Structure 1
Amino acid sequence: MSLAFAEAGAELMLADINETGAQQTAREIETLGRRAVPVRCDVSEPDQIRALFEQPDDEFGRIDVLANVAGGASIETRPPEETPLEDVAAFMQSLMFGRFCCCQEVGRRMLSAGKGSIIKITSIAGLTALGRSHAPYSMAMRLI
């Protein structure tokens, strides 16, 4: 998705918990002649999200598009009857609350600017279970 935005002429800030992956994608974007700024961000941490959204203000001046595509938490998959509530909470924190916090932060800026778009990518897991061991992920994706 990032490469497609770059090919369409966008400059990007790439927020990812996987810093190495974000840096690699940034290099690919730069080979297309576009600017990309990789930033490590754990979307389960609201303070990191708030800090993240201060950077585009400084780097780019505005945000035109938020592509909200964060994946699931790195938690061992187990059958629902064996899944600790802490694991369910971790999925909700990163997938639901984290994405909501991203939308809050970018929404404030877009409302002030009078324009902008938010793209939220979810998963087929939100519509149908991927198996008993994916219950927390499926529940969180359904809420998105």
Structure 2
Amino acid sequence: MTEAPRPPLPPFTRETAIAKVRAAEDAWNSRSPDTVAPAYTLDTAWRNRADFPKGREEIHAFLSRKWDREQDYRLIKELWAYTGNRIAVRYAYEWRDAAGQWYRSYGNENWEFAGDGRMAHRFASINDLKINEEDRLFHWPQGPRPADHPGLSDLGL
């Protein structure tokens, strides 16, 4: 069985790259591995910090563990660069651990897409910063970031 394409498809324009980034942000803000994992090829390969999951099943398990650990997760992504079938993004997300400590995690990702619009490779570098709850900047109900919520550049991040 062939899976339906996941537009926008490469090669990317500025507009389609921005749309792809926002679609990824919205999916990750769902905190649902069932929603996020199908955006990746069956044989996708990742580098996420010191983890190297391969294939959609490992990605699903990785995301399940991630969102069990990272509670009240809120993510903002921003396009950094694009060309052909590749997109680079920068992002930040806020979350708290089981003890109630808040963090803002800053990262950069390089993405490479298959022709059907699914991500084949994802290389992520991420740093965590402890923050106080009153220093949080990402305030919206669980789910996609509202269209009127500031982005990273607007927030000075």
TM-score between the two structures when normalised by the length of structure 1: 0.27
Flag the structure with more relative contact order, 1 or 2, with Cα contacts below 8 A and sequence separation at least 6.
2
More helix by percentage: 1
Please identify which structure carries the higher strand content.
Answer: 2
Larger Rg: 1
Query: What TM-score does the superposition give when structure 2 sets the normalisation length?
Result: 0.26
